[in-house]
Amino acid sequence: MTHITLTTKFGDIFQLPEIGELSSYLIYCLKKDIWLDEHVNAIREKPLTAAKEINWSPGGIQRGMNFLLDELEKKRLKQHFIYTKEEAADDPQKKEVCLLEFQPEKIDPDRPVILLASGGGYSSVCNLAESFPTADHFVAKGYSVFALTYRVSCPKTMIAALEDMKKAVTWLFGHDTQLGYNLKKSGYAVGGYSAGGNLVCNYGDPNIGWKAAGLLKPVCLFPVYPAMDLIGMEQRKEDAAELLVRWIGENYREVLHEYNVAEHVDREYPPCYIVCGKDDQVVGFHDSELLKKLLDQSGVPVVLDAADHAPHGFGDGTGTALEGWPERAIAFLQKLS
């Protein structure tokens, strides 16, 4: 059985025969975006330790990929495509939207399942750096994890991804019994990183997320270095307008308030375990701090797990000041469920 080491060449990970067609879901994208070309491809010929150059955790990726390989060897990993052919007729990319299910040794139907959404600027879904490593922590604690790969690089990407998140939860509730769960009783939690953190925050907003879709409220959310203050982003980032056109559409200013979660946090918002470095250079610490403040004001349970130094993209936190956050997040979930 192949196992990844820190000396494994980064590019070789994508060529492992054991992974097969799942290779395209390690970093899912329709076409190479500028960030992938400039950064990920720059370390392809280097050992895994070079992932630190792009602020990813080498130890976290090693853990997540070995976990994936072990699950494949045990034939325990399941891939679920959540759109039917008819539902995907209007957008071929829907055919690729899927959930990867990671199970503990024994499924406990009384425990919430955890849905994870990796980030990638809505241009990619970086599962190997974020969802896969974290899934190993959660599964070790006895929780089933579903890693969502959502649509990217399409018109109004943020809105499309939110549709995929709502569809994923709807699909889970429609298939829970056959998969061995009882979600109506146990519930579910949702976590996400960066753009995936924005997606999770959007899903938590009852106006556009879980409640608008007629779904059960999540037990809690795990937003990890999330973007949730789009108006603040527009004021702080030079390229914000370009991003918002991609994410929401040419008319983004007409609907910006609708999708600006910072304006909609109230007592209906799910409890949150927020994780972020105070020196985050991509989204910044502002959004995490603001979400904590708004939830406190609304009387909603919240923890902000922050460190002075932790780079954007740390995933499960291995090798950083936020190492162990998945276990602390599970302790938060257990108090609520």
Query: Residue 337: which pLDDT band, with cuts at 50, 70 and 90?
Result: confident
Q: Answer for the pair 291, 265: CB distance below 8 angstroms, yes or no.
A: yes
Q: What is the CA radius of gyration of the chain?
A: 18
What is the average per-residue pLDDT within 288-307? 98
Q: Answer for the pair 183, 146: CB distance below 8 angstroms, yes or no.
A: no
d(C-alpha 16, C-alpha 174), whole Å: 34
Query: Residue 240: which pLDDT band, with cuts at 50, 70 and 90?
Result: confident
First and final C-alpha spacing in the chain: 37
Query: Residue 30: which pLDDT band, with cuts at 50, 70 and 90?
Result: confident
Q: Answer for the pair 298, 41: CB distance below 8 angstroms, yes or no.
A: no
Give the rounded percent of residues in the chain with a pLDDT score beyond 70.
Answer: 97
pLDDT at 233: 85
Which candidate, 333, 259, 261, places its Cα nearest to that of 301?
333
Q: What is the DSSP letter of 92?
A: G
Residue 37 has pLDDT above 80, yes or no: no
Q: Answer for the pair 117, 199: CB distance below 8 angstroms, yes or no.
A: yes
pLDDT at 50: 96
pLDDT at 34: 59
Residue 35 has pLDDT above 90, yes or no: no
Write down the number of H helices and E strands in the chain.
11, 8
Which candidate, 38, 48, 39, places its Cα nearest to that of 16?
48
What is the average per-residue pLDDT within 199-228? 98
What is the average per-residue pLDDT within 251-265? 93
pLDDT at 318: 97
Cα dihedral across residues 145, 225, 313, 62: positive or negative: negative
Rounded mean pLDDT of the chain? 94
What is the average per-residue pLDDT within 239-247? 88
Q: What digits encode the pLDDT tens for the residues 58-114?
A: 999 999 999 999 999 999 999 999 999 999 999 999 999 999 999 999 999 999 999
Catalogue all structural domains in the chain, each as residue range(s) with its CATH number: 10-336 (3.40.50.1820)
Residue 33 has pLDDT above 60, yes or no: no
pTM: 0.96
Q: What digits encode the pLDDT tens for the residues 118-176?
A: 999 999 999 999 999 999 999 999 999 999 999 999 999 999 999 999 999 999 999 99
Reading phi first (left if > 0) and then psi (alpha if -120 to 50, else beta), residue 299 is in left
Provide the residue type at 49 as one letter: T
Q: In what order do the strands lie in the sheet with 113-117?
A: 78-81, 98-102, 145-149, 113-117, 188-193, 220-224, 272-277, 302-307
Q: Answer for the pair 254, 268: CB distance below 8 angstroms, yes or no.
A: no
Helix 240-248 crosses helix 157-179 at what angle (to 10 degrees)? 50
d(C-alpha 62, C-alpha 116), whole Å: 18
Give the rounded percent of residues in the chain with a pLDDT score beyond 90.
Answer: 89
Name the E strands within 50-142: 78-81, 98-102, 113-117
